[in-house]
Amino acid sequence: MIPHKLLYFLFFFFFQSHILQAQKNAFLFNGKKIAPGSKKSFLLPVITGNDSTFIPVTVFHGSKKGPVLGITAGVHGLEYAPIMAAQALAKELEPTQMSGTVILVQVANVTGFLNRSFRVNPLDNKNLNRVFPGQPNGTSTEKIAWTISNQIIARCNYFLDVHDGDANGDLRPYSGYYNYFDKPKVSEKARQMALALGFDFIVQFGNEPSLTEASIYCSREATKRNIPAADIECGGKGQVEAKNVLQIQKAIISLMRHLHMLEGHPNAVQNPIFIAKRTTVESEHTGIFYSDLTGGDYVKKGMKLGYTTDFFGNKIADVTCPIDGVILYKTFNPPIQKGESLFNIGHIH
Ligand SMILES: [Zn+2]
């Protein structure tokens, strides 16, 4: 028989822990209150002297306390797998079942998306993932970056930026994170995030003593603010492939489990391959590019990766592999200009 005092203690303990976990406070975002266990969508305006656009964002505020996770899709408007995964995730997330808060940017570069613009925002022809932290009074892309940096990243405890191979990339899916030696705690938390995403290839960006230059990249802006951040690269060829959309969706759910925002265990991979160094093979010629290789193929130093021809079909040159490694992505379609990247190869030891 359990003594009354112990019953009382147990009741009190569970009651207390439940109360402690419950989220009492609303989440304030863009001047609006989001009550615990609810969600709200916003179109954040991005207006310059020349043009205007907006950023669609949904905030999911859980019933229970927990961290704030920011997620961006569509930093590149032709990267459809991340954008469609964000659409699916927004339907799947149920704030009453969540701990903490998710700030989901459905499409960071709406004008690029609607105009099917390769890499850039057509309003100023700038690449959003090259202008972070942005500028408050800059051009459209710089202002989008500024809004994401200060209204979203600044609010987060963890941050995830989701990309794919874009319109021209045949990509081998991977997760990535920044590793800076003077930020051991942030780097380690970011590494744990990358593991929790469940990809069997993990690319380490940075691998340098410190981050002294401008952030430039979206998730590096989070890193610069000491917010652990990871990237997903999954999908490409300008297509919506269901398996890629699903893999991104599952990866984010797994990450949320790792961060104790959802119940259940993360699907981390047991022995992922860490890639600390990458080599880009650039085209030395302008013309038409041929290659039978695909993202994920293992390659050897000295082997022929493909070749380029002129516009009359005459072969100009072979493309030779500079290292032993694995193709993370390659340009899969024919047009190529001198200086553009043909392959990105991960070094494997
Ligand atoms: Zn991208």
What's the per-residue H, E or C state across 37-52? Answer: CEEEEEEEEEECCCCE
Residues 210, 289, single domain; the answer is no
CA atoms within 13 A on the CB side of 25: 8
Q: Does 7 reside within a domain?
A: no
* Cα 78 to ligand 1 centre (Å): 8
Lowest mean pLDDT of 13-27, 109-123, 215-229, 293-307, name the range: 13-27
Q: What is the pTM assigned to this prediction?
A: 0.94
* Cα 165 to ligand 1 centre (Å): 7
Q: Which two tokens stand for residue 168?
A: 């021209």
Q: How confident is the model at residue 270 (pLDDT cuts 50, 70, 90)?
A: confident
Residues 204, 120, single domain; the answer is yes
Q: How confident is the model at residue 18 (pLDDT cuts 50, 70, 90)?
A: low
* Cα 128 to ligand 1 centre (Å): 9
What's the per-residue H, E or C state across the chain? Answer: CCCHHHHHHHHHHHHHHHHHHECCCCEEECCEEECCCEEEEEEEEEECCCCEEEEEEEEEECCEEEEEEEEECCCCCCCHHHHHHHHHHHHHCCHHHCEEEEEEECCCCHHHHHCCCCCEECCCCEEHHHCECCCCCCCHHHHHHHHHHHHHHHHCCEEEEEECCCCCEEECCEEEEEEECCCHHHHHHHHHHHHHCCCCEEEEEEEECCCCCCCECHHHHHHHCCCCEEEEECCCCCCCCHHHHHHHHHHHHHHHHHCCCCCCCCCCCCCCEEECCEEEEECCCCEEEECCCCCCCEECCCCEEEEEECCCCCEEEEEECCCCEEEEEEECCCEECCCCEEEEEEECC
Taking the mean position of all CA atoms in its chain, how far away is CA 301?
30
* Cα 170 to ligand 1 centre (Å): 13
Task: Name the residue range of residue 242's domain.
Answer: 25-273
**Does the structure show a pLDDT above 90 at 48?**
yes
* Cα 348 to ligand 1 centre (Å): 23
**Does the structure show a pLDDT above 90 at 2?**
no
Q: Which two tokens stand for residue 303?
A: 């082997």
Residues 190, 287, single domain; the answer is no
For the segment 275-292, the average pLDDT, to the nearest whole number, is: 98
* Cα 297 to ligand 1 centre (Å): 21
**Does the structure show a pLDDT above 90 at 17?**
no
For the segment 26-52, the average pLDDT, to the nearest whole number, is: 98
* Cα 2 to ligand 1 centre (Å): 60
For the segment 17-29, the average pLDDT, to the nearest whole number, is: 83
Residues 188, 303, single domain; the answer is no
**Does the structure show a pLDDT above 90 at 76?**
yes
Residues 94, 121, single domain; the answer is yes
Q: Give me the percent of the chain exceeding a pLDDT of 90.
A: 93
* Cα 163 to ligand 1 centre (Å): 4
Last residue of a domain, one of 221, 250, 273: 273
* Cα 250 to ligand 1 centre (Å): 19
* Cα 320 to ligand 1 centre (Å): 26
**What is the per-residue pLDDT for 222?**
98
What's the per-residue H, E or C state across 73-105? Answer: CCCCCCCHHHHHHHHHHHHHCCHHHCEEEEEEE
* Cα 97 to ligand 1 centre (Å): 31
Residues 286, 209, single domain; the answer is no
Residues 230, 91, single domain; the answer is yes
Mean pLDDT (the chain) is: 95
**What is the per-residue pLDDT for 268?**
84
CATH code at 310? 2.40.50.100
Last residue of a domain, one of 227, 255, 273: 273
**Does the structure show a pLDDT above 80 at 9?**
no
* Cα 155 to ligand 1 centre (Å): 23
* Cα 212 to ligand 1 centre (Å): 23
* Cα 162 to ligand 1 centre (Å): 7
* Cα 234 to ligand 1 centre (Å): 10
* Cα 200 to ligand 1 centre (Å): 20
* Cα 96 to ligand 1 centre (Å): 32
Residues 54, 177, single domain; the answer is yes
Last residue of a domain, one of 254, 273, 292: 273
Residues 302, 154, single domain; the answer is no
Tens of pLDDT along 125-136? 999 999 999 999
**What is the per-residue pLDDT for 16?**
54
* Cα 14 to ligand 1 centre (Å): 46
* Cα 189 to ligand 1 centre (Å): 23
* Cα 115 to ligand 1 centre (Å): 16
* Cα 253 to ligand 1 centre (Å): 21
Residue 197 or residue 9, greater confidence? 197
Q: How many domains does the chain have?
A: 2
Q: Most distant CA pair in the chain: distance in Å?
A: 92
**What is the per-residue pLDDT for 19?**
56
Tens of pLDDT along 96-122? 999 999 999 999 999 999 999 999 999
Residues 6+ apart with CB under 8 A from 51: 123, 140
* Cα 79 to ligand 1 centre (Å): 6
* Cα 49 to ligand 1 centre (Å): 27
* Cα 188 to ligand 1 centre (Å): 24
**What is the per-residue pLDDT for 42?**
98
**What is the per-residue pLDDT for 3?**
59
* Cα 65 to ligand 1 centre (Å): 32
- Contact criterion met (CB below 8 Å) for 113 and 74: yes
Q: Which two tokens stand for residue 232?
A: 């997903």
Residues 254, 286, single domain; the answer is no
Q: Does 43 reside within a domain?
A: yes
Q: How confident is the model at residue 146 (pLDDT cuts 50, 70, 90)?
A: very high
Residues 208, 303, single domain; the answer is no
Cross-strand partners of 120: 127
Residues 179, 325, single domain; the answer is no
**Does the structure show a pLDDT above 90 at 20?**
no
Q: Does 244 reside within a domain?
A: yes
